[in-house]
Amino acid sequence: MVRSMNRFLLFSFTFFALSQASAAEVSITMDDFNVHQETLLPANKRNDRILKALKKHKIKAGLFVTCKYLQDEGDRKLLAEWSTQGHLIGNHTVNHRRFDSRISTEEQIAEIQQCEEQLKDQKNFKKIFRFPMLAEGDTVEKRDAVRSWMQKNSYRWGHVTIDASDWYVDQRLRDKIAKDPQFDLNKFKDFYLKHMWERAQYYNELSKKVLGHEVKHTLLVHFNLLNALFLDDLIQMFKDHGWKVIDAQKAFKDPVYKKLPNSMPSGQSLIWGLAKESGKFESELRYPGENDTYEKEKMDALGL
C-alpha cells in the first residue's frame, strides 16, 4: 500500500513538473499611461486598481510611457508608484505619433530622446523602447536608420508578441456607459477575456510554426478603464488555462527579442513580422494584424 502510494505521488509530482515546464509563458506590458483620459474612474483609482491586480498575482509588468501625459507632479507621482514597486519603465515617445510619412527619422529620434529625459530619474527606468502603434517606419531606410541609432545608444526593443485590440474594447465600454450608466459591465469582461484568449492562442501557435517553439510572450494592453476593471480577471484567465504569468523583464531576456524582422510593412507583432519575413505563412497573416474592424461586428451583435 505504501509502495503504491509512493508511486502515485512520484507520478503526480512528475506530471506536475512536466506540465509546468511545458506551460506557455506570458508577461503583461502596458502602453501609454494616459492618466488624463476622462472616464468612469479617475487616474489615481485606475492606477491603484491596476497595481493591486499585479501585486495580487505577484508579477512585475512593463509600462511603456507616453511622456506627454506627465504634465505635473501628480502625474509623476503616479508613475513613481510603478517604479518603486519594481515594474519596468520603458520609453514610448513623447507624443505617440505613428512613425510614417508624416514624421521624419530625426523627429522620431528626438521623440525618444525627449521622453528619456523625462523618465531617466525614475528608479526602474530602462533603455527599452516601444514604437507607438508598433510602427517602425514607413520605409526600409527610415526603419533601419532608427534601428542603427537605437543600437548605438544601447536601446533594446520593447517588442510585442501577442497583439490585440483591448484599446477598442475600452473605447466601446466607455461609449456604452456614457449612454447607459447601468449597463452590465460583465458583458464587456466576458467579451474581453474571450478576445484576448483567442489572440494569445493565435500568436502562440504562430510562434511554434515560425520558430519551432513557444516564446516568453509579451502581451500588449493599455492603461485604461478596461484594464483597471478587468486586469485581475485577465491574469487569472491565463493561469486557469495553464499558462505561467511571468515578469516582463524575464520575458524580454528571451533571445527572440533580439530579432529584427526584415519585413514590411512594420507595425505588427514581432511574431507576425518573423512569419512575414519567412514567406511561408501568408495565408495566416491578415493585415493589419489587429484592428477595430475585426471586432466591430461581433460587438455590435452583442449590443456592446
Q: Which amino acid makes up residue 57? A: H
Cell of residue 89, nine digits: 519603465
Whole-angstrom distance, CA of residue 160 vs CA of residue 88: 15
Q: Is 150 within 8 Å of 129 (Cβ atoms)?
A: yes
Query: Which of 7-11, 182-186, 243-247, 269-273 is predicted with the least confidence, judged by mean pLDDT?
Result: 7-11
Interval 119-124 mean pLDDT: 96
Question: Residue 156: left (phi > 0), alpha (psi -120 to 50), or beta?
Answer: beta
Q: Is the pLDDT of residue 201 over 70?
A: yes
Please give the mean pLDDT across all residues of the chain. Answer: 94
Whole-angstrom distance, CA of residue 51 vs CA of residue 274: 33
Interval 4-26 mean pLDDT: 56
Strand partners, 90: 64
Q: Is the pLDDT of residue 138 over 90?
A: yes
- Reported as a single tens digit per residue, the pLDDT across 255-277 is 999 999 999 988 899 999 999 99
Chain centroid offset of residue 160 CA: 6
Interval 99-127 mean pLDDT: 97
- In terms of pTM, does the model score above 0.85? yes
Q: Is 163 within 8 Å of 269 (Cβ atoms)?
A: yes
Query: Which residues 6+ apart lie within 8 Å of 111 measured at CB?
Result: 93, 94, 95, 97
Interval 279-303 mean pLDDT: 96
What percentage of the chain exceeds 90 in pLDDT?
91
- Reported as a single tens digit per residue, the pLDDT across 163-177 is 999 999 999 999 999
- H helix or E strand, kind and range, residue 30: strand 25-32
Write down the H helix ranges in the chain.
2-22, 43-56, 73-84, 105-119, 140-152, 166-179, 186-211, 225-240, 248-251, 270-278, 292-302
Band (pLDDT 50/70/90 cuts) for residue 228 is very high
* pLDDT at 14 (0 to 100): 41
- H helix or E strand, kind and range, residue 244: strand 244-246
Q: Is 87 within 8 Å of 54 (Cβ atoms)?
A: yes
Please, is 210 exposed, middle or buried when counting C-beta atoms within 10 Å of its C-beta (0-12, 13-18, 19+)? buried
Domain boundaries 24-302, corresponding CATH code: 3.20.20.370
The residue extents of the domains of the chain are: 24-302
Q: Is the pLDDT of residue 55 over 70?
A: yes
* pLDDT at 266 (0 to 100): 87
Interval 172-195 mean pLDDT: 97
Backbone angles phi, psi at 32, to 5 degrees: 90, -50
Is the previous residue joined to 181 through a cis bond, with omega within 30 degrees of 0? no
Cell of residue 110, nine digits: 528626438
DSSP string, 95-155: S----STTS-HHHHHHHHHHHHHHHTTSTTEEEEE--GGG---SSHHHHHHHHHHHHHTTP
